[in-house]
Amino acid sequence: MYISYTLMIFLVSFYGFLVPVITPIVFVSFIILYWVDKFNAFKRSSFDSFDDNRGDMILAIIQLSVLLSAISYFMWDLSIQKEPKLKLLNLVSIFFALYFTGY
């Protein structure tokens, strides 16, 4: 269950710049998966297997996806420029992503 969420987060954070239509598609699939998982959880009533460690792990992965997104934008910008030079906006976004993730 959690691996599909993390896969979608990394998919959007890496390919969202290249294929902008993927972001709304993943957003709709998040909503659908939320309701399916909510229905399954209440139908089975197995709440003893849930703990806070998985939620903390998913939150850390979401925060890491911000850094992955900034790095992928930086790499994409370097690959499409005829004269590779460092852009200030890309470096600022990587700096803020590092600050946000706490590295």
Domain boundaries, the chain: 2-101
- pLDDT level of residue 47 (50, 70, 90 thresholds): low
Q: What is the pLDDT of residue 36?
A: 84
- pLDDT level of residue 93 (50, 70, 90 thresholds): confident
Q: What is the pLDDT of residue 76?
A: 80
Q: What is the pLDDT of residue 98?
A: 87
- pLDDT level of residue 57 (50, 70, 90 thresholds): confident
* Residue 54 pLDDT exceeds 80: no
Burial label for 9, CB within 10 Å (0-12, 13-18, 19+), is: buried
- Taking only Cα atoms into account, the Rg of the chain, rounded to an integer number of angstroms, comes to 17
Beta-sheet strands, E only, within 5-101: none
Q: SS3 of 25, please?
A: helix
* Residue 11 pLDDT exceeds 80: no
Instruction: Give the pair of three-digit tokens for residue 71.
Output: 């790095």
